[in-house]
A and B are shown apart, each in its own frame.
Chain A
Amino acid sequence: MFTGQYTYCGTNHPTVRGPYSGMICSGKWSSYSGMICSGAAVNNIVPWYSMHGVRRARPSAEALEQDKERSIFQAGLIRRALVIRNDPEQSVFDEEFEKKYSVVQRAIESNPDEYTLWAFRREILIAKSESSSLTDDEWKSELQLTSLALQRHPKAYPAWQHRLWLLSDRKHMSKVSQGLRDASLKEEQRLSAYMLSKDGRNFHGWAHRMRVRSILESKSPGEEENMWRQELEFVEGKINDDFANYSAWHHRSVLLPRIHSEGPNIFLSDELQFVRQAFYTEPDVQSAWFYHRWLLAGAPARGNKAVVVDGLLEEELAACEELLSIEKNARYALQTKVHILTKLGRQSETTEALDLLEKIDPLRRGYYRHLRKT
């Protein structure tokens, strides 16, 4: 369960609504991941639809000129960084190197998509590690560099990859003190929790959680089930925040079979109750219905046999009918009803539902006709 501490930087930033839901800047809250106030970044993220009804001012000639100068300046930084990398005479042990190398950091902070520069930074770190000159501070500041880059560009593949490499590479990072690395790993899920609080659908954040978890699992065998249960709590929190967070439902479907490796019997009826509550509250939210369908199939997962429970399908059918008696046109309830009746071998009873579906969901007419035939 995420229990991160926030300290505010003291400045008031306007809250911003949108897919990056309204957040007041949170300042430095961990001495290991060293997240720096990203107030400026939050200010600049204005969801595209927030401009509705507001006359968008044309950017002034000065602003355009400044933008142009900024991009020329950035290009210059990147060019200098690439020149340093591609210079065969260059050595990390040259006196002038550190000064020249600082340009790479500046280039990468604002352009984290430059995968070549991240690769360059890895080459330098490996060279330092092999000559035993890599310090703990350097490693820590490299980690901070990635978190800075990610706060500005939450979806930059190379930045996430670089961070993962810093935490997981055993061969080259072994010179960094064990205590520091272990502590950083323990705190690492806070980064993804933070990123997911800004955008709960950021699949990079979710993937990072998965990968960090598997590193932690390999370090403490026997603790896996505890970790998975902690993760399940996190996922459940995300679902309760917003039933439409499909990423959270997806990760639930990955976690449950792992926790209950003996089979889905154990969790099936609880899950059905949980999901029924979700779709009764919000019958138009697709997420819960797709998850429901997976449960109806017996929650099949690799390694788990699908479960067929007598009477389960009839029970769920009754739940759908009950919902449909209140909300006649609940599209997903109708689809589920058709699906269950087909599974029960009662195709002849699906005609009415399919007729209604063709009327209210005409784009899928061809699909509903296809269902009639099978």
Chain B
Amino acid sequence: MSTNTPSYPPSVPTERELTDFGVQRVQHENIFSDTWHAQHYVEQRVFDIRHARPPEKPLVLFREKHVSWLMRHLQYLPRGSESFDVLQGWSCFWIVHSLNLLGATIPVPTASMVVKHLATFKDPVVGGYGGGPGQSSHLASSFSVIMTLCGLGTEEALMSIDSVSLLRFILQMKQADGSFRVSFGGETDVRAMYCAICIASIVGLLKGVEAEKITRGCASYVKSLQGFDGGLGGEPGAESHGGNSFCGLATLVILDELDAVDTGALLDWAVMRQMAYEGGFQGRTNKLVDSCYSFWVGSLFPLLGLKARAPAGMSKLFDADALQRYVLECAQLENGGFRDKPGTSRDLMHSCYALSGLSIAQHFGEAKHDAKNEVKKVDPVFNIAEDKINYVKEFFSQT
């Protein structure tokens, strides 16, 4: 592989760039490491895409293409279980949630098929769900299955949730210092805590007598995650990271303990994650843009807004139009699905979080959009379509 830097459009910003975007791009001459090489390359690809599209053309959401791509994956699910993939519950969630945001209706027989398929992931001894049939219980898998069932929102789906066995599993994952493991002998980090608290909250366990056993020590654990730059890491002492910041902050929101962290510092950190040229978010300083952080970092703004006296002001602290533009222009693919960034392939995970991020930009930010490219409003704490979460909360408050 040649070690020469690619000779490409001139490094001095052209007139058109300055008037369109007026933003500094990475200086060509400063490339001295892989980090810069990669960043420069991404900006070139984004530049290409932007200048291939006439500026008057509106940003389109290829709704039908996405829906049919996702529906094909949904139909394929039972056969897909031959692969023993650990992410089968996640695949279901990514598909169902994306379809909900796109406003598509999942036919009742299909929904029923998914519910029965997910039921095979149950671990009857321990409680909770594994990543697939025959796999041992895992908090993240359990979370993905519960959220899929809530996203389906049918009575059959919600009735299949056994809160007693979930409680049993969650309490077994709880550690002495207040944190949670993801599975027996598995790692301890804030993702596990978010999954546990989220499940507990949705299924009504945080109102019961066992609530204290679940929530004990959680706020102080999240507090210990805040780094020198204001972001939250995965475990005490770890580097600030977009996904973990979301998990930590959302946990505090559910527990109503937002004051446990320095929210001002976290806000400053989040603001700096938006990429000056690309418009999307990065997950950590000096890393590349990635469409999934559209949700992980984008949702930090409405969540922090829950504390601020002027929550509407939060929406102005990131550029929602730029985020929307990155998602629809660079992450979206014309034949359906979304990808991480130009140069990568589409996948279900990025489709889900790019759409969630788009929803944040449109409904919490002030991204200009019309009925044709609008997606449904997402609940930023649980990452589920708002019209679904209300029904679910009612259902579990009655049982």
A residues near B, CB below 8 A? Answer: 14-19, 21, 47-53, 71-72, 75, 78-79, 82-83, 86, 111, 113-116, 118-119, 122, 157-158, 160-162, 165, 201, 203, 206-207, 210, 242, 244-247, 250-251, 253-254, 282, 284-287, 290-291, 293-294, 301-302, 329, 331, 359-367, 369-370
Contact = CB atoms under 8 A, between A and B. Distances in A.
A363 B319 contact: yes
Contacts of A71: 83
B272, B275, B286, B313 pick with most chain A CB within 10 angstroms: B286
Given A161-B187, A370-B316, A49 B343 contact: yes
A365 B224 CA distance: 31
A135 to B, nearest CB: 21
B184 A119 contact: yes
Contacts, number: 177
Contact of B279 (A82, A287, A302, A363): A363
A21 B6 contact: no
B78 interface: no
B285 A207 contact: no
A293 B227 CA distance: 13
A283 B86 CA distance: 43
Interface of A is mostly: helix
18 contacts: A49-B343, A115-B131, A116-B136, A161-B185, A207-B234, A244-B33, A244-B286, A247-B239, A250-B239, A284-B27, A286-B286, A290-B228, A290-B285, A360-B22, A360-B24, A361-B276, A364-B271, A367-B317
B38 A49 contact: yes
Given A48-B343, A49-B343, A244-B35, A157 B239 contact: no
B286 A287 contact: yes
A17 B228 contact: no
A253 B279 contact: no
Interface residues of B, number: 65
A360 B318 CA distance: 15
B239 A364 contact: no
A284 B275 CA distance: 13
B319 A364 contact: yes
Interface in B13-52: 21-24, 26-27, 30, 32-38, 41-42
Contact of A361 (B23, B233, B317): B23
Interface of B: 1, 3, 6, 21-24, 26-27, 30, 32-38, 41-42, 82-84, 86, 130-131, 134-136, 138, 182-187, 224, 227-229, 233-235, 237-241, 271-272, 274-276, 279, 284-287, 313, 316-319, 322, 343-344
A24 to B, nearest CB: 13
Contacts of B41: 49, 52
A370 B318 CA distance: 11
Given A161-B187, A242-B33, 14 more contacts: A17-B34, A75-B83, A119-B186, A206-B239, A207-B237, A244-B36, A254-B228, A284-B30, A286-B285, A294-B228, A361-B24, A363-B276, A364-B319, A367-B318
A291 B59 CA distance: 38
B38 A114 contact: no
A290 B271 CA distance: 13
B234 to A, nearest CB: 7
B199 to A, nearest CB: 18
